[in-house]
A and B are shown apart, each in its own frame.
Chain A
Amino acid sequence: MYLYLPIAELSVNVLVILGLGIGVGTLSGIFGVGGGFLMTPLLIFLGIPPAVAVGTEANQIVASSVSGVLAHWRRGNVDFKMGSVLLVGGVVGSTFGVWLFRLLKDLGQIDLVIMLSYVVFLGTIGFLMLIESIRAMQIARTPARRRKLHQHNFLHGLPFKMRFRRSKLYISVLLPLLIGVFVGILSAIMGVGGGFVMVPAMIYLLGMPTAVVVGTSLFQIIFVTANATFLQATFNQTVDVVLAILLLVGAVIGAQIGTRVGSKLRGEQLRGLLALMVLAVCGKIVYDLLITPQDLYILASGGGH
C-alpha cells in the first residue's frame, strides 16, 4: 500500500513507515528516550530527503513529548522554573539553528552537516553508553555508596544566581541558558529533541536530581521542537505532516509495547543493546560518507547562486 508524501514528493510504502514508527516507538518505550536520533537517520536511509526528515521529525517529537510529559507532570516530576529557563535558551538556539540550516541548504552542504553531526553525536553517545553499561554489569553486585547531592565546580561561581526549589539548586541562570541554546541548535539541525544531550547535561553539569530530569527535559523539548517545526515549515518548507502523522500512529502503538517489554528486561543489558544499535546506525552513516559514490555528480534543485 503506497502513499504519496506531498512535501517529500515521493511515494512510500505505508506499512514500512508504520513499522518504522512502531519499531522506534518500542525502543523509546523500553529505554525512555525520544527516538529522534534513531528515526531521522532511518528515514534518510529509506530515501526521504535529509532536510524533510529533520523538519518532519521535529514535528513528531512535539507529539511524543506532549504525551510523555503528562505522566511526569502527574507525579510532580517537572521543574517548570528550570524548564522555562532552558526553553528560553532552546528557543533562541533552535531559531539560530533553523537559520543556519537555511544557510547550509543554500550552500548545498546541509546533508553533509546533518550526517557529520550524527556521526559525532551517535558515536560519542553510543560509545559512552556501551562503556557505562559494561561497567554497570561488572559492578552490579557491589553495594552503592551514598552520593553527595551534587558536585560543586567552577560553574557555580557564575553570576545571576537563581533558586530552583524543585531541583534543590541555587545556581547561575547562564549555565541552563547556554545548555538550552546548544541543545536548541542541535534540535533544529539534527531533527532530534536533544534529550540524549540534555539529560546528561542536567545531571552532570547542573547537578539536578535524577527524578525531575526526564520530565523537565520533555517539558522544554515540547517548546523547542514546536519552535523548530514552525520555523522549518515557514522558512524551509520541509515539514511533511502526512509523514509525521504516519510516524505518530506507529510511535503511539510502539510506546505501549515498549513500556511493557521494558519492565521485564534488565537495565544494564538493555542499555548495552541500545548502545550497540546507536553505534550500528553511526557506522552505516560513516560508511556512506566514506565509500566512493556510484555517480560523482548529483542533481540539486537549481536557482542557486
Chain B
Amino acid sequence: MIRGLLLAFSLFTVFAPTAHAQGVIVDLSKNFVAITAGFTGTEVLLFGTTSGYGEVVVVIEGPKQDLAVRRKENIAGIWVNGQPVNFENIPAFYQVLSTSSLDEWLPLSVREANQIGVEYLDLETHAKVSPPEAAEYRAALIRNKQRIGHYGQIEGRLKLTDGRLFRSNVSFPANVPVGIYEVRTYLVDKGKIVSTKSMPLTINKIGIEADVFRVAHQHSALYGLAAIVIAVLAGLGGNALFRKR
C-alpha cells in the first residue's frame, strides 16, 4: 500500500502543475497513534516528494510540558536531590530527521531562527542561577531527554530516491508523551527554506488504559474506593479458593 502511495505521489509530481513546482509534499502513514494495553512503542512512516532539488529536514515536536531539573548533591555520603531548576513550556518530545548532514547545507542562522536541532531549542529557565549554571542544567535536560528517547536528531535518516522521493520511519518509544504533535517539513535549497509543510499528529491513550487514567485523575476518590473494593473482593476470592483445596 505504501509503495502504491509513493508511486501515486511520484506520478503526481511528474504531472504536477507548475504552481506546485516550488513545494514539498509530505504525509504520514497515520495521524493518530493509539496507546493501548500492549503498547511497546511504534513507528509512523513519513513520506513525501520534492520537486527534484534541495534537501529535506523534518522536525517532530511534541506537546509542551514543564520540567524540573535537579542536581544530586552528596550530603554525608548519600546522594540527595538538590533544588529544582524549572523549565517551562518545553517540548516533551523533539526529533529532527534530515536527508544528510545539516552542517553541509543548513546555515546556523536558519537553524536558530526555526529551532531546528536540539541545540537551537528555546529552553529557558527563570530560576536564579548563573548563566554557566543554567547552561549546565539545560545540557542535563537535553541529555536526560535523549537517554529516554524523547529528544534526538538523526541526519541521513530520510532516504531520498531519484532526488525527489523521501521516506523514513519515525520511532516513538513506549514512554512517549501523549498529546498533539506537530510534524514540520522544510525544503531547503541554497541555504534557504523554500517550502514548509506542517501536519498534526495525535498520540493518545485509548481503551481501558485511558479510562483508568482518566478516572484516577478526575474522580480520584471514586477510584480510590473502587481500588479498595477490588482488593477486598480479591482477598475474599483468594481465601475461598484456598479453603476448597
Q: Which residues of A contact B (CB under 8 A)?
A: 2-4, 6-7, 9-11, 59-60, 62-67, 70-71, 108-109, 111-112, 116, 222, 226, 229-235, 237, 239, 241-242, 244-245, 248, 251-252, 255-256, 289-290, 292-293, 295-304
Contacts and interface: CB of A to CB of B under 8 A. Distances in A.
Given A11-B174, A252-B234, A71 B70 contact: no
**B40, B145, B205, B209: which has the most chain A beta carbons within 10 Å?**
B209
The 5 closest A-B pairs by CB, nearest first: A66-B235, A233-B224, A297-B140, A302-B66, A62-B231
A60 B231 contact: yes
A252 B231 CA distance: 12
27 contacts: A3-B38, A11-B39, A62-B231, A62-B235, A63-B235, A67-B239, A71-B239, A108-B70, A109-B80, A226-B231, A230-B225, A233-B216, A233-B224, A239-B223, A244-B230, A252-B238, A296-B71, A297-B69, A297-B71, A298-B81, A299-B67, A300-B67, A300-B69, A300-B70, A300-B81, A301-B68, A302-B84
A187 B147 CA distance: 34
Interface string B227-239: 1101110111111
A296 B85 CA distance: 14
B226 interface: yes
Interface in B197-242: 205, 208-210, 212-213, 216-217, 220-221, 223-228, 230-232, 234-239, 241-242
Interface of B is mostly: helix
Given A63-B231, A67-B236, A237-B216, A230 B224 contact: yes
**B40, B144, B175, B227: which has the most chain A beta carbons within 10 Å?**
B227
A58 B98 CA distance: 49
Given A59-B228, A230-B221, A256-B245, A302 B68 contact: yes
B228 A302 contact: no
B34 to A, nearest CB: 11
Interface string B44-66: 00000000000000000000011
A292 B225 CA distance: 41
Given A302-B67, A302-B86, A108 B81 contact: yes
